[in-house]
Amino acid sequence: MATTIHDRRADPPRARPLTPGPPGLVPALTQPAIGAGAAAVLALWWRDTTSVVGVAGWLTGAGRITGLLAGYATAVLLLLMARVPVLDRNVGSDRLARWHATGGRYVVSLALAHTLLIIWGYALTSHTGVVDQTTTLVLHYPDLLKGTVGFLLLLATGVLSARAARRRVSYETWHLLHLATYLAIFLAFGHQLSDGADFVGNRTAQLAWYGLYGGVAALLLWFRFLLPVRRALRHRLWVSEVRPEAPGVVSVYLTGDRLDELRAEPGQFFRWRFLAPGLWWAANPYSLSAAAHPSFLRITVKAAGGHSAALARLAPGTRVLAEGPYGAFTARRRRAPKVLLLGGGVGITPLRALFETIPGEVTLIYRARRPEDLALRTELDQLAARRGATVHYVVDEPVEYSSPLTARELRRLVPDLAERDVYLCGPPGMAEAAQRALRGAGVPRRRIHHESFAF
């Protein structure tokens, strides 16, 4: 009922005070560093190009530029998703994913432009038709047949990752499709050095390109494959209990060895791989729904697909592989002494962990469709009482209690809203409406910390 159902105030919080830190340099420097790399790639073309003559020359030159940028941007995309701790903890997985999605569209567009421009430019130079020139390039140039297969795989992945198509596929399918990009990049890499006019005969440029891709490959291999295996062997996670929380929502309790060494912070998530029939092949991201304990971890999951629904049927003793912790949706982002936690649906999970631990004066607004959908409500009441915090439960039904998610309504619930940091987590529609309302209520963009559910 989009109104306050319950408020609870009691004793002061037990959380240790945290002094807000300065804005991180890593997020501020990451994009300029990427831009500087692109400028260096353009400088490589400029150095090797003495003149550009005629339409064919301009087309071929543009093809070389787009090809160089596509190759460089591909390495950057892999780096953004390598889960390197310095990026993940400072920039945040959510922002890195958005950069990766935007960059993916640029890569596909650049690779497509490179292909068309080179074929057209070469066809004009050799006075042949486009079809004949395409056949010559693919069948007779070194490594270009493999490069063509890689390009087609990359193009197919890009099309299927478009927003309209993505809505029709599950997270697991989308994840498997993205694994094909590793094969696409592997197939296309040799063509860049064998056929690229800026690399042929230029040993320094070749070594730099090998260093770029080799360094990124090493980071991917360690942080996405070897480190998770090492942690799995050391921590030996397994399911200890599955507990219903609300209709279609369950909490999964996990235990193992040396869990304190994971150093998981409230608000972070892991990618969980449950070694059970039908589940072992997919690693899905779920946030911790309680502060990490030396003897157990907990996630709370809503049935939104086959994988998440199957977690309700997990048997105690099921072994689990966990990659993480990931994400910068933590107390480290806090800058103001007061905090608002704003959650919708199962987006309450990372907020529940933050509500338990984040220092300062805290207010929680929890929106759900119906009162029975308010998962973890008893725990939230107990935490509010313990730390002297305020909870506003907001539901859409019964309709007579509903109210919109607007700046005016938020200011009514939290009069000093503009003075607070806001942690926001919920379904995409709710999150978009909340961000508009928060900006309208005077909350600076830099103090709105958002965790997205989208993939």
Other CB atoms within 10 Å distance of the CB of residue 23: 11
* Sequence-ordered alpha helix ranges (H) in 141-249: 144-160, 163-166, 171-195, 203-220, 227-235
Same domain, 351 and 259: no
- Residue 410, classified by CB atoms within 10 Å of its CB into exposed (0-12), middle (13-18) or buried (19+), is buried
Contacts with 389 (C-beta within 8 Å, 6 or more apart), sequence order: 8, 9, 13, 355, 361, 362, 363, 364, 383
Same domain, 367 and 303: no
Look at 314 and 454; give whichever has higher pLDDT.
Answer: 314
pTM of the full predicted structure?
0.78
Distance between start and end Cα atoms, the chain: 29
Whether the pLDDT of residue 5 is over 60: the answer is: no
- Residue 283, classified by CB atoms within 10 Å of its CB into exposed (0-12), middle (13-18) or buried (19+), is buried
Same domain, 101 and 142: yes
Same domain, 314 and 349: no
Same domain, 258 and 340: no
Instruction: Give the CATH number, domain containing residue 294.
Output: 2.40.30.10
Binning pLDDT at 50, 70 and 90, where does residue 358 land?
very high
Query: Distance (Å, rounded) from C-alpha 337 to C-alpha 306?
Result: 41
Phi, psi of 238 (to 5 degrees): -150, 155
Binning pLDDT at 50, 70 and 90, where does residue 85 land?
confident
Same domain, 42 and 157: yes
Rounded mean pLDDT of 270-294? 90
Tally the domains of the chain: 3
pLDDT computed for residue 293 by the predictor: 92
SS3 167: coil
Binning pLDDT at 50, 70 and 90, where does residue 170 land?
low
Q: For the CA atoms of 14, 16, 20, 24, what is the dihedral angle to 10 degrees?
A: -120
Q: Whole-number mean pLDDT of the chain? A: 87
| Residue 122 DSSP one-character state | H
Same domain, 91 and 213: yes
Give the strand pairing for 319-326 and 237-246.
Answer: antiparallel
pLDDT computed for residue 39 by the predictor: 95
Q: Show which of 169, 199, 230 is a domain's final residue.
A: 230
pLDDT computed for residue 346 by the predictor: 87
Rounded mean pLDDT of 420-443? 93
Binning pLDDT at 50, 70 and 90, where does residue 163 land?
low
Query: Distance (Å, rounded) from C-alpha 144 to C-alpha 267?
Result: 46
Q: Looking at the domain assignment, is residue 197 inside a domain?
A: yes
> Which among 167, 193, 196, 161 is positioned nearest to 180, based on CA atoms?
161
- Cβ atoms of 144 and 138 within 8 Å: the answer is yes
Same domain, 194 and 71: yes
Same domain, 96 and 213: yes
pLDDT computed for residue 424 by the predictor: 95
pLDDT computed for residue 3 by the predictor: 37
Bridge partners, 14 (sequence order): none
Whether the pLDDT of residue 131 is over 50: the answer is: yes
pLDDT computed for residue 76 by the predictor: 95
pLDDT computed for residue 16 by the predictor: 39
Same domain, 109 and 194: yes
Instruction: Give the CATH number, domain containing residue 433.
Output: 3.40.50.80
- Cβ atoms of 389 and 338 within 8 Å: the answer is no
Provide DSSP, 16-52. PP-PPPPPPHHHHHHHHHHHHHHHHHHHHHHHH----
pLDDT in tens, 362-420: 999 999 988 888 999 999 999 999 999 999 998 888 776 677 899 999 999 999 999 99
Contacts with 336 (C-beta within 8 Å, 6 or more apart), sequence order: 20, 360, 419, 420, 421, 447
Q: Show which of 326, 353, 372 is a domain's final residue.
A: 326
Q: Show which of 230, 263, 290 is a domain's final residue.
A: 230
Same domain, 421 and 438: yes
Q: Looking at the domain assignment, is residue 7 inside a domain?
A: no
Q: Looking at the domain assignment, is residue 10 inside a domain?
A: no
Rounded mean pLDDT of 8-31? 53
pLDDT in tens, 307-339: 788 899 999 999 999 998 998 899 988 889 999
pLDDT computed for residue 93 by the predictor: 81
Q: Which two tokens stand for residue 282?
A: 């997919």
pLDDT computed for residue 21 by the predictor: 42
Helix (H), strand (E) at residue 412? helix 407-413
Residue 166 one-letter amino acid:
R
Whether the pLDDT of residue 22 is over 60: the answer is: no
Q: Looking at the domain assignment, is residue 110 inside a domain?
A: yes
Q: Looking at the domain assignment, is residue 117 inside a domain?
A: yes
pLDDT computed for residue 165 by the predictor: 60
Other CB atoms within 10 Å distance of the CB of residue 220: 18
Q: Looking at the domain assignment, is residue 13 inside a domain?
A: no
Q: Looking at the domain assignment, is residue 129 inside a domain?
A: yes
Same domain, 321 and 339: no
Q: Tokens 């048997």 correspond to what residue?
A: 315
Whether the pLDDT of residue 430 is over 70: the answer is: yes
Query: Distance (Å, rounded) from C-alpha 403 to C-alpha 52?
Result: 63
Whether the pLDDT of residue 454 is over 70: the answer is: no
Question: Which of 53-57, 60-64, 301-305 comes out lowest in average pLDDT?
Answer: 301-305
- Cβ atoms of 443 and 342 within 8 Å: the answer is no
**Residue span of the structural domain in which 361 resides:** 334-452
> What is the length of the chain?
455
Whether the pLDDT of residue 340 is over 80: the answer is: yes
pLDDT computed for residue 167 by the predictor: 64
Q: Looking at the domain assignment, is residue 1 inside a domain?
A: no
Q: For the CA atoms of 404, 407, 412, 414, what is the dihedral angle to 10 degrees?
A: 120
> Which among 98, 46, 49, 109 is positioned nearest to 73, based on CA atoms?
109
